[in-house]
Amino acid sequence: MTTPDDETLIRARHRMLDSIEDDARDMAPLIGRAAFAPAVMAAMGAVPRHRFVPAGQGHRAYVNRPLPIGHGQTISQPTIVALMTDLLDLAPTHRVLEIGTGCGYQTAVLARLAARVFSVETIPRLSEAAAARLDDLGIVNVILRRGDGAEGWPSEAPFDRIIVTAAPERIPPPLIDQLAPGGRMVIPLGRPWERQWLTVGGKDSAGAFTTRRNLPVAFVPLV
């Protein structure tokens, strides 16, 4: 039996999903799709976002907006998490590199859709807290590492998919090198406080890498 608090969270999560669906329809001319894949929406509905926000912010967890998580970082707006996940076009066999673990929310969503997620975070306290949350939720197909995200994770490369959750001015070359042929990368690009673009990159079977812009966004800088 669910408690009144559980029911409140369930209703809030359903409202979040409805808001994401509304955003997808509104953004369709820009993002090239009017809805996100059912598997992506199922993952968004299954991950308890309130477990990934700071203490005292649980009542805001399912509002479709970004929230501060400390150390100058944020948990991204749910619509952006869903969009970036959808753009990755994940398969259950994929090995994914995530740059910027943050609070671990995007990591948890990825973990429901891919075989293995390798996530790099430069801020020790964020990495430690994310590891504890993921462990508490029984998520076992994630490996975390503290380090410079711009260097990727060479010892585990190549990766089928790469997602970057903070914005560099240009794509770090090691990340391109670590993307497998046929792989895809989703990354925000641009300077802080200027227009940034969510960008989708792909590497063909011959190793040629190309990019296309998807949506104007605002992300914290990659540090």
Contact 130, 110 (CB under 8 A): no
In the chain, DSSP assigns E strands to: 67-70, 73-75, 95-99, 116-121, 142-146, 159-164, 179-189, 196-203, 209-217
What contacts 194, CB < 8 A, 6 or more positions away? none
- Say which of 19, 76, 127, 205 is annotated catalytic: 76
The CA distance from 61 to 64, in Å, is: 8
Whether 155 sits among the annotated catalytic residues: the reply is no
Instruction: Classify residue 221 by its DSSP letter.
Output: B
User: Which residues are identified as catalytic?
Assistant: 76
